[in-house]
Structure 1
């Protein structure tokens, strides 16, 4: 509450702006409910927005913690009205490049354009600048219209942006994700839900590998960073550790004395001992890590449903093991990843067919 009170004070003073500020600070239609994450790192608050549960996120607690926009400092008198559009475009493109490691054309900068010049223009620019300092906001804004597997940004106020509230996964859930409301659980219903979710994870892997100009690497894969929609679509709800290929290469190319120095969370590279440098090429991939950290949990033991034949369960278990096995020929990414991907997909589809047959 204290954080939001300070935010509203800054809004009333004209220091910041955003399409959610009115609902938060004036109309009382965006109401704080509880703190989800506060101590270290980003501030994550749950709120109710016109009857809809949302999450407000920011890297910093105070608006003043973000470095101010130098163009605004220079334009102190004119409320930023005189800043040429070309300079603004350059500034936005520079920040987006810094966050994503990508050069985007001016026509692609729409999600980050501050809107029409008006009485709150200075606050709009200052707020946009604070949001652009937050990589996750930039990723969500870029990907929201391109991917069903990423949370859309619903709006913002100052340095806080709102996304849909979805219950995150957790290692404390027996199935990693809250499946209590699945019809027929814990028997066939749960086995069917897990198979559907696993297929959605595969869809997400394929999508992040193939559907953008560059591959999108996920370097922090754990249940807490994903949520499941009611139709079992997997959604990445925390992308602080997601990187497109150019930035991934930049991150991996570090000095090293052995391979362990080249592990960046879940993204691994190899140490070239001739030059003591990590290779820029990632040697594992998103699918491998998902198999290791999520699928193994589901498929290492028999599914909780006698409706799935033992032979199919065994094949699935073996395929997950093959997928998760990190042994990689030196300097190469796994060459057999596509075949493992399709094998898993076929086995999961066969599992669903058997479960559906059993329901008849």
Structure 2
């Protein structure tokens, strides 16, 4: 009885029953707010550091990927002008894994003594959607595949990837006219490559831009580009100066030459094509410097011609923060709650941001800072603009 009386006299944790209900709701709200806070923090972390959830880049995994590629080649599922060197002759040799990020695989290799980079947006050839028109055809089929139909399909992929309507003659760099004994594998490989926006862009710019690496060849869904040492905030001048003569003045000339080449690159992307090419992911790791100090955009996953850029930016919004796409942004029109299709910042503004990663100013040997005005008279167009029309 004493225990019972004590039980009746002691209030519960929340007091009266009604208070307990309010306390429970408050605890639930607090828990929800706490969870939302952690979700927001995680989202911001992934926005700033998308590699956090990247797959671990290892030699073992990289070698397995290339072994599977060669099995598919020997089985006739895929072909490419680099497959024989990679899978049979031993003239394309794996060296190391560079990075795995958001599914993309990037490996370093030596091709006949030349360092190259092998890239693919997916690990396995089977991860890419197949070319439906090959369904039901025998393994040696595809020889009679209408070229006009292939051009139509390729043009549709270019339109989807880049937002451009290209004449048939402009599609030649994609290798559509190549024919061989394994036509089915050839078409399947080409189709896998056409699903990769960076491959399409770099292929079409081959011979038109000194500021992008040319595609050197492919095997199945992997394609090769020249290997260049990427920039890093850990370098004194953002990029290695191994080829520069020793001495402060010589290095100062090299640094100012690199800065001018970056400005050349910006002007080139802004003016030398029928549509401006927007760079939306500006960081040292996405650029490199050739031995002649030419700036090169080595990762153009986030590079878009004007029509595609407008399509990306023109979205619903409640504020300007909804109109940000990596380093490219526009303004929110609150009257219609739509982001403006016109980009609000520029390649030049972002290009000048690159040296700031190392917290230094790039100077002329005389000590004067490089500016866009100093650069303007140096830029020379590369000739007739390529016919890149919007869709």
State the match for 2:207 in structure 1.
145
Tell me, what secondary structure is at the counterpart of 1:109? helix
Alignment check: 8 A CA contact 2:236 2:358 kept: no
Pick aligned residue for 1:20 from 63, 78, 82: 82
Aligned-partner Cα distance in 1 for 2:358–2:74: 50
Equivalent-residue separation in structure 2 for 1:200 and 1:267 (angstroms): 22
CA distance in 2, matches of 1:219, 1:226: 13
Give me the whole-angstrom Cα distance separating, in 2, the residues matched to 1:78 and 1:44: 31
Call closer, same or farther: CA 1:114–1:11 in 2, change over 3 Å. Answer: farther
Of residues 254, 266, 281, the one that matches 1:220 is 281
Contact 1:75 1:83 in 2 (8 A): no
Q: Does 1:293 align with 2:354?
A: yes
- Summarize the Cα distance change of 1:298–1:190 in structure 2 as closer, same or farther, 3 Å threshold: farther
Whether the aligned pair in 2 keeps the contact of 1:269 and 1:280 (CA below 8 Å) is: yes
1:65-144 equivalences in 2 (<5 Å): 65-76=127-138, 79-144=141-206
The CA deviation string for residues 103-156 of structure 1, in whole angstroms up to 9 with x for no partner, is 001111101233443321111100000000000000100001100000000000
Divergent runs of 4+, >4 A: 295-299, 344-347
Q: CA RMSD of the aligned region, Å?
A: 2.0
**How far apart, in 1, do the equivalents of 2:235 and 2:309 lie?**
31
Q: 1:253 aligns with which of 314, 319, 325?
A: 314
Gaps of 5+ in 2: 1-62, 379-391
Question: Secondary structure of the equivalent of 1:60?
Answer: coil
Please state if 1:37 is matched with 2:37: no
Shift of 1:89: 1.0
1:317-336 alignment runs, 5 A limit: 319=371
Aligned residue among 103, 119, 124 for 1:62: 124
**Counterpart for residue 11 of structure 2:** none
**Distance in structure 1 (CA, Å) of the matches to 2:138 and 2:304:** 36
Q: How far is the alpha carbon of 1:298 from its aligned partner?
A: 6.6
2:116–2:224 contact (8 Å) kept in structure 1: yes
Q: TM-score, structure 2 length as denominator?
A: 0.77
Q: Which residue, 356, 359, 366 being the options, matches 1:308?
A: 366
Alpha-carbon contact 2:281-2:302 (below 8 Å) kept: yes
Deviation digits for residues 214-256 of structure 1 (CA, Å, limit 9, x no counterpart): 0000000111011100110001100000000000000000111
3-state secondary structure, aligned to 1:38: strand
Distance apart, 1:189 and its partner CA: 2.2
Query: Contact 2:108–2:116 (CA<8 Å) still a contact in 1?
Result: yes
Deviation at 1:74, TM superposition (A): 4.4
Query: What residue number does 1:273 align with?
Result: 334
Q: TM-score, normalised by structure 1?
A: 0.83
From the CA coordinates, give the structure whose radius of gyration is larger. 2
Deviation at 1:173, TM superposition (A): 1.2
Judge conservation of contact 1:45–1:57 (CA < 8 Å) in 2.
yes
Stretch deviating more after TM superposition (33-42 or 87-96): 33-42
Deviation for aligned residue 1:73? 1.2
Residues 27-82 of structure 1, C-alpha deviations (whole Å, 9 max, x = no match): 11000011101253310110010111111000011100001000111434661223
* Shift in Å, 1:174: 1.9
Paired with 2:355 and 2:136, the residues of 1 have a C-alpha distance of 51
| 8 Å contact from structure 2 (residues 243, 291) kept in 1 | no
- Tell me the number of residue pairs that the alignment of Structure 1 and Structure 2 aligns: 316
CA distance in structure 1 between the partners assigned to 2:257 and 2:357 by the alignment:
15
Q: How many angstroms does 1:159 deviate by?
A: 0.2
1:342 matches 2:373:
yes
